[in-house]
């Protein structure tokens, strides 16, 4: 056997080159295609950022209009796919529903599966960007037992998604511009994050030349874990548990620091950011403002702020360079918007989608790409001889 390097969790191994996203974990820098996240969050829109990530440049006004209307034209789900939502149990978690529906797209759109046909990849890209918000809203409607609306393509992507999530058939749904702007910004902040767990999954599945729908469906499952995208719902559950229990914030912190099994300060820590997460800095600034504008002052926000204050001044967290990450405050905003906790990670998936697509496409176009096939270090028993059943002690 040749020399194999062991690197559990890939803490020190680059799996690919990439020209999409730049992170400097020490300095707290995040850039998409060279543009600082702070500038994009303030001035851009989610669809524009999606275009930037996927095609490499900011769109001209004409390109953005054409891209927006292409996405708008594909928001409908096939009626047969819509029926899938009746088949899931009412209390189904929306993340596996989302992943199943994306997986099913490869049965409905067999004309856009080839990973090497540019026209087909482009069509799958648009279909995914257009249909994922519809699928996500239907997963939510299904879980609360309300009828599924049809998309209204006079609306923008985020407006459409909010109307599909909260509107009712016989009512005009008033889209709240404060909510639209906040959600659009949150999607921008989530749009890509180089080789994280779900993106690496999308690439690994795609490296075997599986189609884009199959690869993204796998990425959604990867995102669902509580150490990854699932952290945003886990934060809210943690805050709720602290409020409900007799424990005060300090008792909870002691349990975290004693490393009780399964007890972590959710929404804290990051593999790459060791000083601060620039996304969290932006979110923290807007969280308070948005909660105020929506008129939802939340007791849980106070608990979160208290936890943060303790952690930032505590030796345990300081020595391990643990800071609030993107998931620490998002849940409170999503809750104020009216989403149930189960939907939070689905919202992360909606934001991350353009990143997954951009990374998958970059890989497929790269002549250096090989099938992903990590090595291992074997630790099992050495060779031994088979023993027939009657002779086994
Ligand atoms: N609370 C308490 N202790 C922690 C935490 C935390 N949130 N995060 C890390 N630690 C400790 C960990 O026990 C270890 O201690 P020691 O050195 O004594 O063994 C040390 O800090 C290093 O942690 P690690 O688990 O080796 O670090 P990692 O890079 O493998 O994990 C992480 C990164 C994000 C999975 C982890 O910090 C974590 O579990 N955080 C909580 C879950 C979370 O918020 N995830 C969202 C990540 S950001 C965006 C996303 O991907 O969704």
The pLDDT tens digits for 121-140 are 999 999 999 999 999 999 99
Provide, rounded to the nearest whole percent, the portion of the chain with pLDDT above 90: 87
Name the closest-CA residue to atom 42, ligand 1. 227
Of all protein residues, the one whose alpha carbon is nearest to atom 12 of ligand 1 is 320
Task: Please report the atom of ligand 1 found closest to the CA of residue 256.
Answer: 2
ipTM score: 0.97
Query: Which atom, in ligand 1's list, is nearest to the CA of 197?
Result: 51
Q: What is the residue-averaged pLDDT of the chain? A: 94
pLDDT of 46-96, one tens digit each?
999 999 999 999 999 999 999 999 999 999 999 999 999 999 998 899 999
- Spatial neighbors of 224 by CB under 8 A, at least 6 apart, are 95, 96, 99, 230, 345
Q: For atom 41 of ligand 1, which residue has the closest CA?
A: 266
Average pLDDT over residues 231-251: 90
Among 191, 228, 269, 328, which residue has the most ligand 1 atoms within 8 Å of its CB, making it the best to mutate?
269
Residue 296 is predicted with a pLDDT of 72
Is the pLDDT at 204 greater than 80, yes or no? yes
* Helices H / strands E in the chain, number of each: 17, 3
Lookup: tokens for 252: 């909870």
Ligand 1 centre to CA of 44 (Å) is 31
* Spacing, Cα 318 to ligand 1 middle (Å): 13
197-233 burial, b at 16+ Cβ within 10 Å, e below that, comes to bbbbbbbbbbbeebbbbbbbbbbbbbbbebebbbbbb
Is the pLDDT at 325 greater than 60? The verdict is yes
Instruction: List phi, psi (to 5°) of 48.
Output: -65, -45
DSSP string, 118-179: HHHHHHHHHHHHHHHHHHHHHHHHHHTTPPPPPP-TTS-HHHHHHHHHH--TTS-----HHH
The ligand 1 atom at the shortest distance from the C-alpha of residue 268 is 7
State how far Cα 324 lies from the chain centre. Answer: 17
Confidence class for position 393, pLDDT limits 50, 70, 90: confident
Q: Whose CA is nearest to atom 19 of ligand 1?
A: 320
Q: CB within 6 Å of ligand 1 — which residues?
A: 9, 196, 227-229, 231, 256, 264-271, 320, 322, 325-327
What is this structure's pTM? 0.95
With 60 as the cut, is the pLDDT of residue 327 above it? yes
Span from the CA of 268 to the centroid of ligand 1 (angstroms): 7
Distance 23 CA to ligand 1 centre (A): 18
The reported pLDDT for the residue numbered 288 is: 78
* Ligand 1 geometric centre to CA of 162 (Å): 32
Residues carrying an active site annotation = 270, 327
The minimum-distance atom of ligand 1 relative to the CA of 325 is 48
Look at ligand 1, atom 39, and give the residue with the nearest C-alpha: 227
Q: Which residues contact 213 (CB under 8 A, 6 or more apart)?
A: 102, 103, 105, 106, 109, 113, 124, 128
């Amino acid at each position: 056997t040749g020399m194999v390097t062991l690197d559990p969790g890939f803490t020190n191994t680059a799996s690919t080159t990439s020209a999409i996203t730049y992170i400097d974990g020490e300095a707290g820098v995040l850039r998409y295609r060279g543009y600082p996240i702070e500038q994009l969050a303030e001035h851009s829109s989610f669809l524009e950022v999606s275009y930037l990530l996927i095609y490499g440049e900011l769109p001209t006004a004409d390109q953005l209009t054409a891209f927006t209307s292409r996405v708008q034209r594909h928001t409908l789900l096939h009626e047969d796919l819509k029926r899938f939502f009746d088949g899931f149990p009412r209390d189904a978690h929306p993340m596996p529903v989302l992943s199943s529906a994306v997986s099913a797209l490869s049965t409905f759109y067999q004309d856009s599966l080839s990973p090497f046909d540019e026209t087909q990849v482009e069509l799958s890209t648009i279909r995914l960007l257009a249909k994922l918000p519809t699928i996500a809203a239907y997963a939510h409607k299904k879980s609360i037992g309300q009828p599924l609306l049809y998309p209204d393509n006079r609306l923008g992507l985020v407006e459409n998604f909010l109307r599909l999530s909260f509107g009712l058939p016989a009512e005009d749904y008033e889209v709240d511009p404060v909510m639209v702007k906040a959600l659009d910004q949150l999607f921008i902040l989530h749009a890509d994050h180089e080789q994280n767990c779900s993106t690496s999954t999308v690439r690994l599945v795609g490296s075997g030349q599986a189609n884009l729908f199959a690869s993204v469906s796998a990425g959604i499952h990867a995102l669902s874990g509580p150490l990854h995208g699932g952290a945003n719902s886990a934060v809210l559950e943690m805050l709720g548990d602290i409020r409900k229990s007799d424990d005060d914030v300090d008792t909870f912190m002691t349990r975290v620091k004693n490393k009780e099994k399964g007890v972590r300060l959710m929404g804290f820590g990051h593999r790459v950011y060791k000083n601060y997460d620039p996304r969290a800095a932006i979110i923290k600034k807007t969280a308070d403002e948005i909660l105020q504008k929506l008129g939802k002052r939340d007791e849980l926000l106070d608990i979160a702020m208290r936890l943060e204050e303790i952690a930032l001044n505590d030796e345990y967290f300081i020595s391990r360079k643990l800071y609030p990450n993107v998931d620490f405050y998002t849940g409170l905003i999503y809750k104020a918007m009216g989403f149930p906790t189960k939907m939070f990670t689905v919202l992360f998936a909606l934001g991350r989608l353009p990143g997954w697509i951009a990374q998958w496409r970059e890989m497929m176009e790269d002549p250096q790409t090989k099938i992903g096939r990590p090595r291992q270090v074997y630790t099992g028993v050495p060779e031994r001889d088979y023993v027939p059943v009657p002779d086994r002690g």
